[in-house]
Structure 1
């Protein structure tokens, strides 16, 4: 199976691609590589690549592929809040256009990296795939819009799949330090403080990026009738946590650290728990291999190995919003995030 992975040089893609290759897929990447200067540790695997912004993709780029795994997006809420329309342009409009062109040229499967963040402000309820959407951020809203617009494209020759990932974590060559587990471990290791930016009460479902990749592999291998126009939460019922639980796991793993609260830390509007029964029914072979505790341990070991300092994860190299703004101010990117 020939598979095109958009965003293959990002946080998830750099971990997913080697797993897809190990399973025997013929993989090509497509990426504008916004974070080419942000590699943490070993360089990402080099594979055949279409060097393009997802907004500039043309039909010719998509011909000959059996499936597309669409990861490319602006995946940071503060970045989305700076210019919401840019987030919508990349995450929503370009995604819908990509699906339209894929269908037109005969790509049979379109796997979209959606998100449980679409459930948004949900309180204590445990939400399955039939739950109402209540997105809080432009990023989450963009996921709702893509599902809404791409699902009706399903046909005898085109099968969209919407993988609603829980909050991701884990070590990657294109590390994200803004994600909760990755962030808390970085603070604890470099400052001795587990810095909580909420009051610790909000709930989040969590999933390791390798388990997200496993869900993609299952979706590529499954029979068409299993995955056709499927929307499914990706994660495990045992992996819903309150922020305070995660802080406790970090404190048990990283020596000599204590929990502290950022100025103004209070309840977070984003509070939701997810039910993951459906994915285990649809893909009996799918089993999450990671727990939050294992993720904390993995991050701590990787940060030690590569010598993480506070100036690294809080500086312009790895802090995505500051990195992007620096590229704009230095003239490397224009205000619409195209390379100059």
Structure 2
């Protein structure tokens, strides 16, 4: 298939783009490189450095695209609270521009990079796709809004088939077929495993553990960590499974979470670094448990995570981290 990947120079987008190329697809990529990296791009993919708002320049009726995988957007929760306009513009308006181009070009397939952070619940039960959607920040609200836009577009056109993949905590790294090492790097970093690795590698003086009095097995929050390679596999399976006029939602996670203290201990074991840890009060809005029920993806896509072991996830991430900071 001929496929357009938006945000294909970013963390998850680049891993999926490489996997698509390896699978034999013809891939074109749109990315403005505001947070992505040119070094992440597959050498055989055609690259367009541009905003998602300009997607119609590439996604023309004559271009013959068979599908779009949409990763482009802003992702930092704290930034979205301080600057929500940026998130309305990038995530909602950018996705609207993409959907208009998809409609005009008659593209039949769309995969959207969504998020499990839009769910709310009792703080104990795993989230399936029927869980209540109540976003707690502008970032999650934009993802929920785009899911609604896609659902409406599929119902109206009866040509487009789409899947929204709601990830939980993407992590790990991948060494691609062409030797590119792809891993997580954000500035500023806001995700637990790379923050811990920065403490282990000396890039930050200590790690702050927020909340030790939750009703969990060791008093710290439980989260679901999913290897980026497993996420990429789900995208290819969803691309083959979607049907015209239908919009499906799939939660993607391991289904068995790890506490923050377990992740901390694993990072210390893997890295051999006994870095300082500061204990702090709970952060407002942090639930005790946030894990995915991915039964629908298992049953309908035939998907299952192959890299669920926390030691493997952390070891992969540590290899990328050491390479990234080598010589610094």
Q: Does TM, scored on the shorter chain, surpass 0.5? A: yes
CA distance in 2, matches of 1:194, 1:301: 20
CA contact (8 A) 1:170 1:182 kept: no
Change (3 A) 1:66 1:122: farther
Q: 1:279-319, CA deviations, whole angstroms, 9 ceiling, x for partnerless residues?
A: 101112x221223321211122222334458xx7xxxxxxx
- Aligned match of 2:185: 175
The reply on whether 1:296 has 2:296 as its aligned counterpart is no
CA distance in 1, matches of 2:41, 2:29: 12
CA contact (8 A) 1:196 1:265 kept: no
The reply on whether 1:266 has 2:282 as its aligned counterpart is yes
- Aligned match of 1:332: none
Deviation for aligned residue 1:221: 2.1
CA distance in 2, matches of 1:50, 1:184: 34
- Aligned match of 2:10: 10
CA distance in 2, matches of 1:293, 1:193: 23
Change (3 A) 1:174 1:62: farther
CA distance in 2, matches of 1:132, 1:23: 36
CA distance in 1, matches of 2:95, 2:123: 30
Alignment of 1:84-99 (within 5 A): 84-99=84-99
The reply on whether 1:82 has 2:82 as its aligned counterpart is yes
Say which is worse superposed, 98-107 or 15-24, in terms of deviation. 98-107
Change (3 A) 1:203 1:96: farther
Deviation for aligned residue 1:230: 0.5
Q: Which runs of 5+ in 2 are unaligned?
A: 174-181, 213-219
CA distance in 2, matches of 1:50, 1:135: 32
Q: 1:162 aligns with which of 161, 164, 167?
A: 164
CA distance in 2, matches of 1:97, 1:202: 38
CA contact (8 A) 2:224 2:253 kept: yes
CA contact (8 A) 1:121 1:269 kept: no
Deviation for aligned residue 1:121: 6.5
Change (3 A) 1:43 1:65: closer
CA distance in 1, matches of 2:122, 2:42: 39
Change (3 A) 1:60 1:30: closer
- Aligned match of 1:287: 304
The reply on whether 1:247 has 2:264 as its aligned counterpart is yes
CA contact (8 A) 1:3 1:65 kept: yes
Deviation for aligned residue 1:8: 0.4
CA distance in 2, matches of 1:180, 1:144: 23
CA distance in 1, matches of 2:318, 2:196: 10
The reply on whether 1:152 has 2:152 as its aligned counterpart is yes
Quote the RMSD (CA, aligned, Å): 2.5
Q: 1:199 aligns with which of 186, 204, 211?
A: 211
Change (3 A) 1:75 1:164: same
CA contact (8 A) 1:203 1:243 kept: yes
* Count of residue pairs the alignment pairs up: 303
Change (3 A) 1:45 1:308: same
Alignment of 1:19-34 (within 5 A): 19-34=19-34
The reply on whether 1:190 has 2:206 as its aligned counterpart is no
CA contact (8 A) 1:62 1:107 kept: no
SS class of match (1:139): helix
Q: Which runs of 5+ in 1 are unaligned?
A: 313-340
Change (3 A) 1:105 1:191: closer
SS class of match (2:207): strand
- Aligned match of 1:275: 293
Change (3 A) 1:80 1:50: same
- Aligned match of 1:336: none
